[in-house]
Structure 1
């Protein structure tokens, strides 16, 4: 039953990536941790592989349709994938198993990672629920911010992605719109390319530190890839505004669930 639920979730991950150009890891990590019982550190690494491989297929689809801005994508992908790799290779293994340890409270490494992940989910939910896409695109047309000023933001995004195993679509798309002057449609397609590069590179950093269950990982990923083809096809028929609102509410609920589960034991 758990395996069936996990594979159904794998298809949902692909659907979300195909429909929205991001958000796959928001489903992947909780699914691996709470349904499959995988350690949070390993789950974030698995998430990078699953979301990265699935996004690569979606990125190719969008490239063939002319919805990928390669130049703007590489400007963001290159510094961020270096940061993601270094985070998974050096920073995550260096985090102690018990970050805070007192007589009354202990903050474990896994709890810390899931707590950070819940915060990222909360930010993603707020972004989906309150962001006005047309206003963003209008502001982007008059934006001339130098690349050097957004480089720290790109690096911070890479560290965040590496720490929690997230593809970072909800962080990447605003960068592409504001600083790359792309339409939302092209930003979604380009974000899949960046997510794929960043996630797979970050997972390579995990190969030095984690024992991988390749049979489970590859079968899970294959179902997710099927989902992204379905999601990309359905994208033309759905109301994007309503989809984002509904998914934003779902993410908000999941963030509250993770906080209560990790810190209050509910």
Structure 2
């Protein structure tokens, strides 16, 4: 048993070493730039981390899709937890609502993470791209927001509805490593009645909780290249400080729509990369 485990660990190290040797400096630079954007997006918008993380790890750093999704959950979880600190200091985190949504999301994310371990990588990437496109359309169109001017006037959320929505968002996050903040923020804003700025801060608490839960589910089926993952995470954390500092200084509508267009293009790119090979393989069977 120990000998077999040692052989497996040795093989994994050789695979990681081969992957590192094949990496081109330009692709590493692109991945680090995207990692910084992950942090900026999380700190500024309360979401969008996995939308950039999964393609960066898959296409720039050569990770298999399932491993990239698991790594994405770790990167986004740690970066969200760090970014949340700045929002909490500014009073932009609602702890009770965030914990309620987060607990339900953790249960869904853990289940989604386990299920994702049994789904082919190409299918996961196509599901991921579809979620990117749907999210981008929602971002570009925008959502009606009724921000109360006085924090004390924030309406009380429907507990059961928040918990159910939290479970659904968590399951999507755990399954494909996406659907985090850009589903959590609207849910907290529309269902929970939180102002957008507070919904962004609270979403980071939720994202951290359910990302770690989804990551725990994936640990049963993947092993990560930790030096790469930790380097990506550190760069994302640095970007999150900038995002938190910029929060409230950039017009939200312009930023959301611009990022939505970018996400739409990336979703289309992933589909172009994944769908033709899958159709070709199906035609050969």
User: After TM superposition, is the score higher than 0.5?
Assistant: yes
CA contact (8 A) 2:100 2:163 kept: no
* Aligned pair partner of 1:47 in 72, 76, 79: 72
How many aligned positions are there? 248
Matched, 1:130 2:150: no
**Residue 77 (structure 1) shift:** 0.4
Q: Cα deviation per residue 1:165-205 (whole Å; 9 max; x = unaligned)?
A: 12611111121112222100100000011101111122122
CA contact (8 A) 1:143 1:179 kept: no
* Aligned pair partner of 1:110 in 98, 121, 131: 121
Equivalent residue, structure 2, for 1:30: 55
Q: Residues 1-266 of structure 1 correspond to what in structure 2 (within 5 A)?
A: 1=25, 2-88=27-113, 90-95=114-119, 109-134=120-145, 136-137=146-147, 146-166=158-178, 168-264=180-276
CA contact (8 A) 1:18 1:229 kept: yes
CA contact (8 A) 1:122 1:252 kept: yes
Q: Given the two structures, how large is their TM-score scaled by the length of structure 1?
A: 0.87
Q: Cα deviation per residue 1:108-130 (whole Å; 9 max; x = unaligned)?
A: x1121111111111121112111
Structure 2 residue runs of 5 or longer lacking an equivalent are 1-24, 278-285
Equivalent residue, structure 2, for 1:103: none
**Residue 237 (structure 1) shift:** 2.9
CA contact (8 A) 2:35 2:235 kept: yes
Root-mean-square deviation (Å): 1.9
Larger Rg: 2
**Residue 143 (structure 1) shift:** 7.5
**Residue 238 (structure 1) shift:** 1.8
**Residue 246 (structure 1) shift:** 0.6
Q: Given the two structures, how large is their TM-score scaled by the length of structure 2?
A: 0.81
CA contact (8 A) 2:116 2:218 kept: no
CA contact (8 A) 1:144 1:179 kept: no
| Distance in structure 2 (CA, Å) of the matches to 1:142 and 1:196 | 24
Q: Cα deviation per residue 1:63-99 (whole Å; 9 max; x = unaligned)?
A: 11110000111111001102211322x312233xxxx
Q: RCO (CA 8 Å, sep 6+): is it higher in 1 or 2?
A: 1
CA contact (8 A) 1:133 1:184 kept: no
